[in-house]
Amino acid sequence: MANKVRISADSTVDLSPELLERYSIAVCPLAVTMGDQTLDDNGVDVHPADLFEYTRRTGLLAKTAAQSTEYYADYFRKLTADGSEVIHFTISGSMSSALTFSCLAAEEVGNVRVVDSQNLSTGIALLVIKAAEMVASGMDAESIVKEIEILRPRVDASFVIDTLEFLHKGGRCSTVAMLGANVLKLKPCIQVKNGAMDVGKKYRGKVESAFREYARDALHDPDDIDLSRVFVTHTCGHDAPIAREIAEEVRGILPFEEVLITDAGCTVSAHCGPGTLGVLFIRKSDKK
C-alpha cells in the first residue's frame, strides 16, 4: 500500500485558512523581524498591517527570513510521524534561503520531497492546489512532483504596486526611479520570470484604474489560459472593495471556474507595501 502523501508549503503560499483546510495543506511559517522582535508568520502572531504600521512609525522595513534547518527538520518530523510522504513547496530559491534550509532538513528527516516553486505568493498556491488535487486522485508523490515540474513554468504571476517606497527601502529601487514614478504617477507591474522578480509595464494614473487595465492586459491571451482557477491577491486590506471589483472584472473577461480573492501575507507585504494587487493563473503552455 502506498504511503499517504501530504502537501506542505512555506507561509509565502498566501492561502486563506479556509483554502488550507479545504485542500489539507500544512504550512511552515517564515520568520518576520521588526526591530529586536522576531515572530512566526503564522497568521496569528503578526499580520501585514503590523508591518505597515512598523514602517510608518520607524521608517524601517520589517524583514522576512527562512527558518533554520533545525526548525524545518522539527516541522517535517511532525508531518512524517505517521509514515506520510511530504511534498513541501518553497518560495523561489532565488528569493530566499528557504529552499536551501528545507532541503537540508529533508535530507536529515527523510520521506520529504522539496519543490522550488520558482515563484511567490499565490503563484506558489496554484501549484500547491494542483498537487493537492493530484493527492486526492490517488497519485503517488514521485508522479505528483513530475507533473508539478511540467506545470511550474506555466504559472503566470504578477502584481501592480501603488507605491515604490517599500521596494526603495528594501534596496530594490533607486531614489531616482522612485521620485520619477511618483511625479508621473506610475504604477509598475512586477512580474515573476525564471524565479525572479522583474519590472514589466508601468501604468499611469490612479491605482484603481491601473488595476483594471492591468487585469485586462494579464488575461489578453485567453486561448492559452487554464480556466480552472485564478487568484486575485492583494495587500489592500482584508475584504477590500477594490479586490472584489477586480475579481468581478476578471470574471467579465474570462469564464474561470474559480476566482479566489486572497490577502497577501507578510513576505509580499514587507517588500511591496500596501496597495499591491495581482492576478495569478496557470497557462496551457510555458510562459514566454
- 112-132 confidence digits (pLDDT tens): 999 999 999 999 999 999 999
Overall pTM > 0.85? yes
pLDDT reported for residue 146: 97
pLDDT reported for residue 179: 37
pLDDT reported for residue 165: 64
C-alpha grid cell for residue 186? 506610475
Q: Using a pLDDT cut of 70, give the percent of the chain over it.
A: 91
- Which residues of the chain are modeled with pLDDT < 50? 1, 168, 170-184
Say if residue 208 is exposed, middle or buried (CB neighbours under 10 Å; 0-12, 13-18, 19+).
middle
Cα angle: 266, vertex 216, 260; to 5 degrees: 45
What is the set of domains in the chain, with CATH numbers?
5-152 (3.40.50.10170), 155-283 (3.30.1180.10)
pLDDT by residue (tens digit) across 142-181?
Answer: 999 999 999 999 999 999 988 766 664 544 443 334 333 4
pLDDT reported for residue 157: 96
